[in-house]
Amino acid sequence: MRSHSEWFPEALLSLLYVPEHVDFNSPAVSCDCLAHVYGNAADHPDRVRRYPSDMTDAEWAAVRPLLPVPAWFQGRGGRSEGYCHRQLLDAIRYLVAGGISWRAMPADFPAWARVYASFRRWREQGLIIEFHDRLRGKVREREGREADPTAGITDAQSVRAAATVPAASRGYDDGKKVPGRKRHIVTDTLGLLLAVAVTATNIGDRGAAAGLLMRLHRLHRDITLVRADGGYTGSLVGWCRAFDHSPSTFAGVASRPSSTAISLARSGP
């Protein structure tokens, strides 16, 4: 699956939201989101930005063009939105930064149920992934790299699960003596996340790597090399060599006993 940056060129992404400032329906507003400009958000009082997680004006200017146009704005039904999009995003950022539950949302934000509904809708539309991918590209460019990586690093970590985690989704890592879940990740060479999978801890690194590499290949077509430790040798290398996924082929090569280099080499256009 391609990233959303590949689906929508820059020119088309700018059409997902009104890019220019326009005249407000009410003179008593302080935000240029669609809910304020064309909706009913001006009916609710503005909030004082007091938390470190609140977006700066520069951050909002970068985020605003990426927000999807609501159905009501496109004439596809529904009522005009009554909550500021910037406040909704600030609320989500506060929740992530503080690690709180949705129901513990401070009273100066919109109601938690409204914030969660917006988050769920934006997540389903791929907005969260788009934010992450663009931020990763900007960080890479700031470090003098290309926005799209060509190499990665994969590893896994077993994490002890809380008692509330369902038994069906957790296991026991015999090697590390850890009951719970295991996260399998691929990062670029700067340590920025490219792909992730979560399994029970009894799933071995090699067992989860095949699916993870296939997903990585779909999301990041420019990746040609993934480095791993010695836990990824053996059957995984043979799987990589045998796997044929036109127009590209996976080929795994063990560089030394303690590490593995998995080459994702193109065999076609």
For the residues 58-81, what does the mean pLDDT come to? Answer: 75
- Residue 113: the pLDDT is 95
| Element at 38 (helix H, strand E) | none
- Residue 35: the pLDDT is 78
Please say whether the dihedral angle defined by the alpha carbons of residues 82, 86, 91 and 95, taken in this order, is positive or negative.
positive
The lowest-confidence range among 1-10, 154-163, 240-249 is 1-10
- Residue 204: the pLDDT is 84
Q: Is the peptide bond before 247 cis (omega within 30 degrees of 0)?
A: yes
Tokens of residue 151, six digits? 């190499």
What is the C-alpha to C-alpha distance for residues 154 and 260, in angstroms, rounded to an integer? 10
What is the C-alpha to C-alpha distance for residues 152 and 228, in angstroms, rounded to an integer? 9
pLDDT over 50 (residue 28): no
For the residues 78-102, what does the mean pLDDT come to? Answer: 88
Query: Please, what is the angle between helix 235-242 and helix 205-219, to 10°?
Result: 30
What is the C-alpha to C-alpha distance for residues 269 and 252, in angstroms, rounded to an integer? 20
Task: Classify 158 as helix, strand or coil.
Answer: strand
For the chain, the residue count is 269
What is the C-alpha to C-alpha distance for residues 83 and 27, in angstroms, rounded to an integer? 17
Task: Classify 44 as helix, strand or coil.
Answer: coil
Residues 6+ apart with CB under 8 A from 84: 31, 33, 35, 36, 41, 44, 46, 110
| Element at 120 (helix H, strand E) | helix 112-124
pLDDT over 80 (residue 49): yes
| Chain Cα centroid distance, residue 153 | 18
Q: Which residues of 129-160 are buried (b: 16+ CB within 10 A; e: fewer)?
A: ebbebbebbeebeeeebeebbeebbbbbebbe
The conformational region for residue 241 under phi > 0 = left, psi -120 to 50 = alpha, else beta, is alpha
Closest CA relative to residue 201, chosen from 163, 172, 175: 172
* Beta-bridge partners for 249: 244, 265
For the residues 255-261, what does the mean pLDDT come to? Answer: 50
Amino acid at 2: R
For the residues 191-197, what does the mean pLDDT come to? Answer: 93
The lowest-confidence range among 73-77, 105-109, 147-151 is 73-77
Question: How confident is residue 73, by pLDDT bands cut at 50, 70 and 90?
Answer: low
What is the C-alpha to C-alpha distance for residues 87 and 45, in angstroms, rounded to an integer? 11
What is the C-alpha to C-alpha distance for residues 42 and 126, in angstroms, rounded to an integer? 27
Most confidently modeled of 12-16, 59-63, 99-103?
99-103
Express as a percent the part of the chain with pLDDT over 70. 74
Backbone torsions φ then ψ of 235, nearest 5 degrees: -65, -30
Strands 225-229 and 151-160: parallel
Question: How confident is residue 23, by pLDDT bands cut at 50, 70 and 90?
Answer: very low
The lowest-confidence range among 45-49, 54-58, 68-72, 188-192 is 68-72
Most confidently modeled of 11-20, 119-128, 146-155, 245-254?
146-155
| 262 contacts 253 by C-beta, under 8 angstroms | yes
More confident residue, 19 or 232: 232
